[in-house]
Amino acid sequence: MAEKSNLQIARAAYQPKLPKALQGPVKAVEGAATQSVGNQAEIKALFPNTYGMPVVTFESAESAAATEINVGIILSGGQAPGGHNVISGLYDGVKSLNPANKLYGFLMGPGGLVDHKYIEFTDELIDDYRNTGGFDIIGSGRTKLEKEAQFESGIEILRELGIKALVIIGGDDSNTNACVLAEYYAAKNYGVQVIGCPKTIDGDLKNEQIETSFGFDTACKTYSELIGNIQRDCNSARKYWHFIKLMGRSASHIALECALETQPNICLISEEIEEKAMSLDDVVTYIAKIVADRAASGNNFGTVLIPEGLIEFIPAIKKLIKELNEVLTDPATGESREFASKDEQVAFVKGNIAPENLAVLESLPKDVERQLCLDRDPHGNVQVSLIETEKLLSAMVATKLAAWKAEGKYCGKFSAQHHFFGYEGRCAAPSNYDADYCYSLGFNASRLIANGKTGYMSVIKNTTAPAAEWIAGGVPITMMMNMERRNGAMKPVIRKALVELEGEPFKFFASKREEWANTTSYIYPGPIQYWGPSEVCDQTTKTLALEHK
């Protein structure tokens, strides 16, 4: 490994905290049978071997038998701070069951399982990566595990290495795939357990059992430091409006958390915009009015936080994108259609969508219109993150203000700066919270394996309390699933958690945003702290604190 910074050297010595129940032998306490959050009959039929299992909670026990088991681990999807701690926690947990146990890492995501590319972890390797950010210890990937040929290729290498359990670290799609794999191996009696871990900085993998997805805390603190720095500059120069787009395509949890941490003048919440059926012009008018009102008070500056997926939540555009995803998918194969040229693809789209959706498409700036028709992600969906929403909104606000000025309304001076914070937060060194939480998730996964569980997700609860009081256990992945339409077909997926407009975090934000809009109430959080008072170093997100107050 490359030479380390002084911070890395000091952080390597940090020993993450564990829930009291995991600090010695454990026993599994099972609750009642569970059911999926929706479409119970369909989900049960698709997962007959892993449906209806009980929620598991671990309690301290007097003794536990040594367990001989080799384990494999996969990092799937986008990076999130704390992934290395999940691996180190799993490694320590597996070795504590029996020092002869081995942990293997499959390289570059699920594709490493299919292609038989792996490494065996050692003490030396693990120690190099403790409490570090990123996924570079084995890399990640976005290969979807959904075909029988992939499952069969995977079982070959698992048998060769004597692996009896596989841990998949990922978001909702990756853990859906983990559930499919667990069901397949159970149905075939292959004797391989599959356990998931909840990862995504977007924060949309949570429910009554999962308090937060790992990496959310660190990413939001990283973004909030940057936003605070910009706000300090903004309040110093007093001449720019900063439009800041933040990660979060499917939900606005990051934008909301960063707003709670920094108190910007404006924060848009996609779920509220959809609930109120706001048009793009409604959103622009809302921003422009605050800009004009602040100008009237002599403040020609401010900050605007924008969720990455905002455009997709505007009802008319959401309807358009849904049809775009349909027409650009080949119904025979379920894969993206192929075209000879980009112009041919644009022409095909315009010729095959409903007139009302075509009108919406053609009302957008030409570059945005073309992006919607062309750019697709690996799953065949519109790449909303490539749409420069921050620039689109600021340009439309400028046009709106110019029109108001022409009518005689005072709007002051408007000059915009643009930012998109995404990759800056995905691989940051984990906060103390994420270091502890992720280590506990990995260690806990080893106990789920030792207790013979499969099709479960590792969960740690009560995380607003001191770490010793955290509750460890597992939840059946099928419990979180429902049926949704994806690429023209109904598929079982883990239901995404959106910002709840009746939830305490949003209600608190809504009670303060008018004050933050009209005054300059910025908070400057500063960088993540690792040493010092617990109230500074070990604090959870504002979201969690409000949800569990």
Q: Which residues are marked as active site?
A: 202
The closest alpha carbon to 527, from 4, 7, 3, belongs to 7
User: Diameter of the chain by CA atoms?
Assistant: 81
* Torsion angles phi and psi, residue 382, rounded to 5: -60, 135
Answer whether 279's CB lies under 8 Å from 400's CB.
Answer: no
Paired strand residues for 307: 246
3-state secondary structure at position 28: strand
Distance of CA 123 to the CA centre of its chain: 30
User: The dihedral of CA 101, 107, 111, 117: what is its sign?
Assistant: negative
- Rounded to whole angstroms, how far apart are CA atoms 512 and 504? 12
Tokens 């027409």 found at: 327
Tell me how far CA of residue 315 lies from CA of 282, 361, 490, in angstroms. 12, 13, 22
The closest alpha carbon to 252, from 59, 504, 499, belongs to 499
3-state secondary structure at position 462: coil
Tell me how far CA of residue 142 lies from CA of 75, 331, 378, in angstroms. 9, 22, 8
- Rounded to whole angstroms, how far apart are CA atoms 374 and 343? 9
For 363, how many CA atoms within 13 A lie in the half-sphere containing its CB?
A: 13
